[in-house]
Amino acid sequence: MKKASLFFVLLLSAMILLAGCGSSDKSESKSADDNTFKVGLEAGYAPFNWTQKDDSNGGVKIQGTQEYAGGYDVEIAKKIADGLGKKLVIVKTEWDGLVPALTSGKIDAIIAGMSPTAERKKTIDFSDNYYKSNLVMVVKKGGKYEGATSIQDFKGAKITAQLNTFHYSVIDQIKGVTKATAMDNFPAMRVALESGIIDGYVSERPEAVSASGANDKFAMVEFKEGFKTSEDDTAIAVGLEKGDKNINKINEVLKGISEESRTQIMDEAIKNQPAAK
């Protein structure tokens, strides 16, 4: 009986010791996480963000992969991480998964060319804007829609945009348009356009410049009579969890980036995008 009692005492001591070690490891892990700034983005929306094979042109390694992310969003994320005194970690996330990843704590911020729409503001907070763009259309070069000056010139055309974006909703402003099924990402829309499945897709000017620069079969159409949008629709901001205390510091960092610098960063991103080389 004494041997049995001694055995149980030793077993209990070992369990307490192991529990203590586990608690310590968890604490250290949480402490390490406090030193990182985890940013979610698609890494597939050039020139805002893309995936590349190395760290050229300031690419940042994507968590859990051998790939790197580059682009305008990544450069802005770097500046914010520096301002917060934290190490930048890029978490590649599908567009539809960005807000859930933020609200669940998987990432600390969304820096992914996301507009601070009224609908999104119900779920998450946004920083001040770090870019503002115009809506355009990407079409086939030399096709019947390249010379369009009004969105109404696309009557009868097969037009799409990215799923769960305001880009898709504005297509309804075109009378008589054939609204094609929304697509998951921009690479898919480019393939659909080149293959003739669609006649065009709604985009923001930087992506359209990027697309037409990467593929000489594409053209960007800017409008004299364009889409009606709100200020928030065409702006781009950092998505943050409701009540995030870092929002003021992030806004300070963004305020310190001049319009001239933002233009320069975007021009460099358009030049450096992998598909354009």
For 165, phi and psi rounded to 5 degrees? Answer: -130, 160
Q: Of the given ranges (54-63, 67-76, 192-201, 202-211), which has the lowest mean pLDDT?
A: 202-211
Residue bearing the bigger pLDDT, 24 or 173: 173
Give residue for tokens 């960005």.
98
Give me the DSSP letters along 26-81: HHHHHHHHTTEEEEEE-S-BTTTBEEESS-GGG-EEBTTSS-EEESHHHHHHHHHH
- In whole angstroms, what is the distance from residue 260 CA to residue 264 CA? 6
Cis peptide preceding 100, ω within 30 of 0:
no
| pLDDT score recorded for residue 225 | 93
Burial 239-262 (b: 16+ CB within 10 A, else e): bbbeebebbeebbebbeeeeeeeb
**Adjacency order of strands within the sheet including 68-70:** 50-52, 68-70, 60-61
**Interval 152-160 mean pLDDT:** 98
- Per-residue pLDDT band for 277 (boundaries 50, 70, 90) equals very low
Give me the DSSP letters along 138-171: EEETTSTTTT--BGGGGTT-EEE-BTTSHHHHGG
**Per-residue pLDDT tens over the stretch 213-235:** 889 999 999 999 999 999 888 89
**Per-residue pLDDT tens over the stretch 38-53:** 999 999 999 999 999 9
| pLDDT score recorded for residue 273 | 87
Instruction: Decide if 202 contacts 159 (C-beta within 8 A).
Output: yes
Between strands 87-92 and 36-41, the pairing is parallel
Beta bridge partners of 171: none
Give the residue among 142, 139, 128, 110 at the shortest CA–CA distance from 45: 110
- Per-residue pLDDT band for 24 (boundaries 50, 70, 90) equals very low
Instruction: Decide if 68 contacts 119 (C-beta within 8 A).
Output: no
- Per-residue pLDDT band for 58 (boundaries 50, 70, 90) equals very high
The whole-chain average pLDDT of the chain stands at 89
**Per-residue pLDDT tens over the stretch 133-147:** 899 999 999 999 999
Instruction: Decide if 223 contacts 150 (C-beta within 8 A).
Output: yes
User: What domains lie within the chain, and their CATH numbers?
Assistant: 35-132+232-276 (3.40.190.10), 135-221 (3.40.190.10)
Instruction: Decide if 39 contacts 89 (C-beta within 8 A).
Output: yes
**Interval 148-159 mean pLDDT:** 98
